[in-house]
Structure 1
Amino acid sequence: MNKSICENETTPEAIRDYQHYTYAIIYTVILVPGLISNVLALWVFHAYVKETKKAVIFMINLAIADLLQVLSLPWRIYYYLNKSWPFGHPLCMFCFYLKYVNMYASIYFLACISVRRCQLIFYPLHYNATKRWRDRSWCAVGWFIVCIGCLPFPLLRKNSSGERICFSELPMVSLSMASGVTLVSIAEITGFLLPIGVVLTCTWLTAASLREKNCILQDAGEKRKALKMVLSCACVFLICFMPYHITFPLDFLAKSNTNVSCTFKNAILRSHPITLCLASFNSCLDPVMYYFTTDEFKRRLSRPELPESFHLHRRISSMTTEATALQSEQKE
């Protein structure tokens, strides 16, 4: 009875058209700046930033996660514009899975960046370049945990044979209310609440260290830079990931068979796509964070540095070509 009344108020077709329009517009806006900025970030980190003490390895992995997310957007844009998925069920599931892997990988690496910057404030001599393997190990562990933890997202979707639908519009397998609540709770706690708790704790500890009376001027400068970094991580969490993780359990409730009001259901079905797009918007915000919180990144992108770097690459390339030609002449 409640379902028929809700369908009379707002038809499923109207909700679907609204969601497709929202996704297509916002993903198109994110695509180009997200692609350019993350490719540029990887280029800068790989070619120039040799300082590994300031969470650079975690930033590289964060940029990789953001870039992978951006590269999956054209498939989504095509589907939401054409309202049809002609590429087969396996590719649909891969793109669906990739979305959540990259979102939770970004959350993980933002938390790691905050921890690393906080550690360098309290233990500046404890970390050195010879321990970079620890950061790489944490990155590998993070990717593994995230990839395993996100498997329920595609596994809980059924193949809709005969219909060219994809992503969240695929029917879900039958779950009891207790099982659904358990899975949602685990995702909320491990995927958002614990990481945001870590980031906020690092922010508080870094801010508290600035109030120490024995803090010399140089230490104060480093602590301000660290505070700027962890505050940026916290802002990305609050802007991009908190709205989604508020509507995520509510969306599950609205789509379940529970007796909820039509006003609540329609409000959630219209707000959840926006929060999901906000979760993808971090791929544009993270490069902004690199620029304003990392001196090396800002310096390498400054106007005097860019021409010099391109000139250096050309010189190296020409020297390599000349050496190859010289070796060929000597062999002849």
Structure 2
Amino acid sequence: MNFANNTCNTTTDLQEYQHKVYAVVYSLLLLPGLLGNGLAIYVFRVYVKETKKAVVFMMNLAVADLLQLLSLPLRIYYYLYNSWPFGHPLCMICFYLKYVNMYASIYFLVCVSVRRCELIMRPLRYDASRRKSDALICACGWLLVCLGCLPFPLLRNPSSEQNSNAGDRLLNSEVGALQNGPVCFSELPMRTVSYPAAWALLIIAELLGFIIPLVLVSACTFLTAWSLRDKTEGAIADRGEKRRALKILLSCALVFLLCFAPYHVTMPLDFLVKAGALKSCSLRNTIRMCHPVTLCLASLNCSLDPIMYYFTTHEFWRRFSKPEIPESMTFSRRMSCLTGGEGQEEE
């Protein structure tokens, strides 16, 4: 559909385009994501107590992806039939889960990257007490993400459109031309927020949710790659071990950049559109066309993460090659840990 000559009054066509994009992408992601993350949780629950190498973080990442995937059928229904008959509370829950998944995924990708880098750079510092602390790190992460994402649903006002800003008032008034019932998700009108408060929230979201995690993932990848240049004898003499760790870190960085970077580039631009700060109708429409695509890319990680687990995590290969873990293998691994040979048994 060509929007080249559209003006600001053609928001109905833009909304129809957005609904089609969401419905198609979410439908394609649903089944592979459910199967992949369900399998990941099944595999990781077996190995979470056996290995020290970030499996607990990967399992929490799979749980975060699964939470969002479970809300996709309702989203697909809304974008196909242009109506939300399920009530406002469920709308807010689905809307909220979208952002919880995205920032929980970012948090646990960072945890995976930091842990794998730490095990390469300082392998002897990880012990049983550190393994127990991983569960605390996960719990704190969930708490911080859930609290940090509360502004997303709280800033929506379902009761009326009188509080919507000037930039989106026209869009909200024309939703009825396409909608067959109550609206939901991003089409809910925004509450009135002062510009300083809005910019403060935006800067915090960009800084804590994207820039700092990007720096951490990039630093861990660089340090692990640099360690391959060191040919001296150390605590980890197996260069294959470092290569496997680097492969996981590169996969985390790729998922991070492909899925989350585009969204965090268009998010401030979309905010400017909603705030009515952009006067050019063509620029406003272009941003409204691009933002749904980047939001779909942010959901793509639900299907990409299981692929990352399969191709980079040795636990998956061991599980598929040996359906059951023999007791003798478990005993052998425990003895290997006691004798300092764990690095040869684990990835």
TM-score of the two chains, using structure 1 as the length reference: 0.87
- Residues 107 and 191 of structure 1 are in contact (CA less than 8 Å); yes or no, is this contact kept in structure 2? yes
Whole-angstrom distance in 2 between the partners of 1:294 and 1:115 = 16
Query: How big is the shift at 1:219?
Result: 2.7
**Secondary structure of 2:123 counterpart:** coil
Which letter does structure 1 place at the counterpart of 2:201?
L
> CA offsets per residue over residues 99-144 of structure 1, 9 Å max, x none?
1001100000000000000110111111123432110010011001
Q: Relative to structure 1, is the Cα distance of residues 9 and 166 closer, same or farther in structure 2, using a 3 angstrom cutoff? A: closer
Number of the residue aligned with 2:297: 278
Whole-angstrom distance in 2 between the partners of 1:40 and 1:125 = 31
Q: Which has the higher helix share?
A: 1
Query: How big is the shift at 1:180?
Result: 1.6
Q: Which of the residues 200, 203, 209 maps onto 1:182?
A: 200
Which letter does structure 1 place at the counterpart of 2:273?
A
Number of the residue aligned with 1:196: 214
Q: Which range is displaced more, 156-165 or 202-211?
A: 156-165
Whole-angstrom distance in 1 between the partners of 2:221 and 2:7 = 49
Number of the residue aligned with 2:272: 253
Whole-angstrom distance in 2 between the partners of 1:52 and 1:204 = 24
Map residues 49-64 of structure 1 onto 2, 5 A cutoff: 50-64=49-63
Whole-angstrom distance in 1 between the partners of 2:199 and 2:122 = 41
Query: How big is the shift at 1:9?
Result: 5.7
**Secondary structure of 1:79 counterpart:** helix
**Secondary structure of 1:181 counterpart:** helix
> CA offsets per residue over residues 55-95 of structure 1, 9 Å max, x none?
01101100100110111111100110110101111110111
In the alignment, structure 2 segments of 5+ residues that lack a partner are: 162-180, 328-347
- Residues 228 and 242 of structure 2 are in contact (CA less than 8 Å); yes or no, is this contact kept in structure 1? yes
- Residues 260 and 298 of structure 2 are in contact (CA less than 8 Å); yes or no, is this contact kept in structure 1? yes
In the alignment, structure 1 segments of 5+ residues that lack a partner are: 1-5, 313-332
Map residues 146-157 of structure 1 onto 2, 5 A cutoff: 146-157=145-156
Q: Which range is displaced more, 100-109 or 152-161?
A: 152-161
Q: Which of the residues 249, 263, 266 maps onto 1:244?
A: 263
- Residues 48 and 300 of structure 1 are in contact (CA less than 8 Å); yes or no, is this contact kept in structure 2? no
- Residues 43 and 315 of structure 2 are in contact (CA less than 8 Å); yes or no, is this contact kept in structure 1? no
Aligned residues, how many?
A: 303
Number of the residue aligned with 1:15: 14
Whole-angstrom distance in 2 between the partners of 1:144 and 1:48 = 25
- Residues 14 and 288 of structure 2 are in contact (CA less than 8 Å); yes or no, is this contact kept in structure 1? yes
Whole-angstrom distance in 2 between the partners of 1:259 and 1:244 = 19
- Residues 52 and 129 of structure 1 are in contact (CA less than 8 Å); yes or no, is this contact kept in structure 2? no
Q: Does the alignment pair 1:116 with 2:134?
A: no
Whole-angstrom distance in 1 between the partners of 2:237 and 2:310 = 21
Q: Does the alignment pair 1:42 with 2:60?
A: no
Number of the residue aligned with 1:159: 158
- Residues 44 and 55 of structure 2 are in contact (CA less than 8 Å); yes or no, is this contact kept in structure 1? yes
- Residues 160 and 170 of structure 1 are in contact (CA less than 8 Å); yes or no, is this contact kept in structure 2? no
Whole-angstrom distance in 2 between the partners of 1:259 and 1:103 = 27
Quote the sequence identity (%). Answer: 60
Number of the residue aligned with 2:337: none
Number of the residue aligned with 2:249: 230
Number of the residue aligned with 2:67: 68
